[in-house]
Structures are given as C-alpha cells and as structure tokens.
Amino acid sequence: MSSTPSFTRLDVSFTSGKDTCAAWLYLPEGVPSPPVVILGHGLGATREMRLDAFAERFAQAGIAALAFTYRHFGDSTGQPRQLLSIKRQLADWDAAIAYVKGRRDVDGTRVAVWGSSFGGGHSITVASRHPEMKAAVAQCPFTDGLASALALGPVASLKVLPLVARDYVSIARRRTPAMITLAGPPGSLSLMNAPDALPGYQALLPPDTTFRNEVAARVAPTIMAYRPGRAAKKITFPILFCISNTDTVTPPTETERYARSAPRGEIKHYDAGHFEFYLGEPFEALVSDQVEFLTRHLNPAGAA
C-alpha cells in the first residue's frame, strides 16, 4: 500500500441561505482533479464527531472529501442556535454540492454523498434529487420517522409534546427556543434514550468539541413525519446501505425494506450497534467497504 496518497486538509466554508457552513476539505496529494464525496452527520452532531476519520480514509484512497457542519450547529453560523430544520439541512447539502462543483481542484462531475444516521436519511433524500451524482452512502440511515417513534415507544413520544408546545410559544414571542435533550439515559425526556444513545454520543466527542446535547424542541414532530426511505426507489445511481442488525434508533427491518427499493442499491449488514459504527473494528469494517464502493463508482485516478 505504499502508493496510498497522503492528503491536505483545508478549513473552508460555503454559503447556505444567509448563513455559512463550516467544513473541512480533504484533498489527496498526487491525484489531479479527484472525485469528491460530501459527508454530513447525524441528529445534532458536528463534523468533529468522527467524520474526519472517514474523510481521511477516503482521501487516502484518492477521493477528495468535504465534511461539513449544518447551519445553527457547531462553528457554522445561524440563529437561533441548535435549530434543527430538515428543510434547511437539506438546503445545506445542496449548497455543499454547489460548492464542490464550483471548485477547480476537484472533479465536479464525479460527486458522491455520504450520510450517517439522520444524515444517512438526508443522503437518501439528496441523492434522489440529484440524478447527476455518481454514488451515495447511507450509513445506519434514519429512513422512517414513524418507525423510529414507535421504536422509542408511543408514551415516550407523547412526553415530548409539552416541550414542543413551549417551543412554539417561544417562536410566537420571539424568545430563546425551548430545548430538548438529544441523547439521554433510558427513561429520560430526550429524542434518543436507548441504553447506547448517550454513551454513544459521548464516545464521539473530542476534547475541544462544539457539540451541545440539545436541540430546539420544535423539531420533534417534523422528525416523526420525515420518511426519507421512501425516496430510495427514485435513486438511479449506486447507493450503499450500511445497516446495523441491532440498531436501537433506526429499525433495521424498515431500512432493509427501503434499501431493497433502490434500483441499484447495495446492502451491507453489520452486527455492531448504531453508535458503534464510528470506532474500533466496526469502523474498520465499514470504512473498508465504503472505500471499495466509492472507488468502484468514482474511479479516482491514481488510487491504490
């Protein structure tokens, strides 16, 4: 593997709406006009939470990588803070695609999208809207909000409603949003309270993280109504689904059903849990499969 190219990481940003998304651009050295993959994270997460690990491996395979943080989170701009708007996040993906297409140091005709968890759902939606893409990766993807809500339990889902109502009042009165915890212990009032949720998020945090474990509560009903898996059947290019067999957040049976509707879908199963995909042996297995998939469909010149 001595021919594996090294890479340069640039701090970059791009405009989305009236705001700016902060990002890292990984450029493989010695690969003229490389293809590029765009990476977006999960529910309330920022790019420091192990997107760099995946991006580095893609760059080492000769594929440029843009890892970004959504508006309203981390070091990206946008007010109010911690606002999770599905519509705005999808617009951030569109802005990221336009950004890489406008750069001269990557090949804007060979672009792929890569999303994990909630971002995996976004990658399905975005892929269905951009037929010019060459490939997509949906890692432990959120595919069906109703199925995820039922997995959490209807009682737990109902408990969030008073917070949602309070947040809607804050909108009307132009006050600071009412927040709900993203990941909490079992039984807690949070969007994710499976036993592995809170430790799973904590394991991804670097010492200098910009992550905050909360979002504006108004997002809860929109999450339940979001069913990106339905768009899989519209994706005409190859898309890789990496499914956790023991997923506590995105039920694997639903994900498998949607994945099989993609005309050129490829499916890989893993025994690791939803939050274990980013570290250790599960990460190595996943990233190896993803590098093979992206290399096959993006065909980076000079790749090992």
Does 62 fall in a domain? yes
pLDDT of res. 296: 97
Residue 2 is predicted with a pLDDT of 45
Q: What's the pLDDT band for 303 if we cut at 50, 70, 90? A: very low
Q: What percent of the chain is modeled with pLDDT above 90?
A: 82
In a domain, 128, yes or no: yes
pLDDT at 63: 98
How high does pLDDT run on average in the chain? 93
Q: How confident is the model at residue 179 (pLDDT cuts 50, 70, 90)?
A: very high
pLDDT band at 217 (very low <50, low <70, confident <90, very high): very high
List Cβ neighbours of 12 (8 Å cut-off, separation of 6 or more).
Answer: 23, 24, 25, 66
Query: For residues 3 and 302, what is the distance between their CA atoms, to the nearest angstrom?
Result: 8
In order of 10, 287, 294, the CA distances from 59 in angstroms are 12, 12, 11
Least confident residue range of 16-25, 86-95, 118-127, 174-183: 174-183
- Give domain status of residue 254, yes or no: yes
Over 80: is that where the pLDDT of 156 sits? Answer: no
Q: At what angle do helices 118-129 and 86-101 cross, to 10 degrees?
A: 60
Q: Angle, to 10 degrees, between the axis of helix 280-298 and the axis of helix 51-60?
A: 40
> What is the C-alpha to C-alpha distance for residues 75 and 20, in angstroms, rounded to an integer?
9
- pLDDT recorded at residue 151: 66
160 or 99, greater pLDDT: 99
CATH code of the domain containing 12: 3.40.50.1820
CA atoms lying within 13 Å on the CB side of residue 129: 13
Phi and psi of 295, rounded to 5°?
A: -65, -40
Report yes or no on 163 lying in a domain. no
Question: Once rounded to an integer, what is the mean pLDDT over residues 212-220?
Answer: 94
Choice between 37 and 151, residue whose per-residue pLDDT is larger: 37
Domain span at residue 118?
A: 7-148+228-298
**Interior angle at CA 214, CA 212 and CA 216, nearest 5:** 125
The model's confidence at residue 193, banded by pLDDT at 50, 70 and 90, is: confident
- DSSP codes joined into one string, 80-111: STT---HHHHHHHHHHHHHHHHT-SSS-TTSE
Question: Above 70 in pLDDT, residue 60?
Answer: yes
Q: How far is CA 32 from CA 96, 242, 261, 299, 303, in A?
A: 21, 30, 36, 12, 11
- Paired with 20 in beta bridges are 15
Is the model's pLDDT at 206 over the cut of 60?
yes
Does residue 106 surpass a pLDDT of 60?
A: yes
**Predicted confidence (pLDDT) at residue 304 exceeds the cutoff of 50:** no
Range of weakest confidence among 40-44, 74-78, 143-147, 288-292: 143-147
In a domain, residue 59? The reply is: yes
- Structural domain contains residue 105: yes
Domains of the chain: total: 1
Q: What is the pLDDT of residue 249?
A: 87
Please say whether the beta carbons of 176 and 80 come within 8 A.
Answer: yes
Provide the pLDDT confidence category of residue 157 given band limits of 50, 70 and 90. low
253 falls within a domain: yes
pTM over 0.85: yes
Residue 209's pLDDT is 87
pLDDT surpassing 80 at residue 242: yes
Q: Does residue 109 form part of some domain?
A: yes
Residue 155: pLDDT over 60 = no
H helices, E strands: number in the chain: 10, 11
Which amino acid is located at 289 in the chain?
D
The pairing of strands 239-244 and 7-16 is unpaired
Nearest to 160 by CA among 100, 222, 204: 222
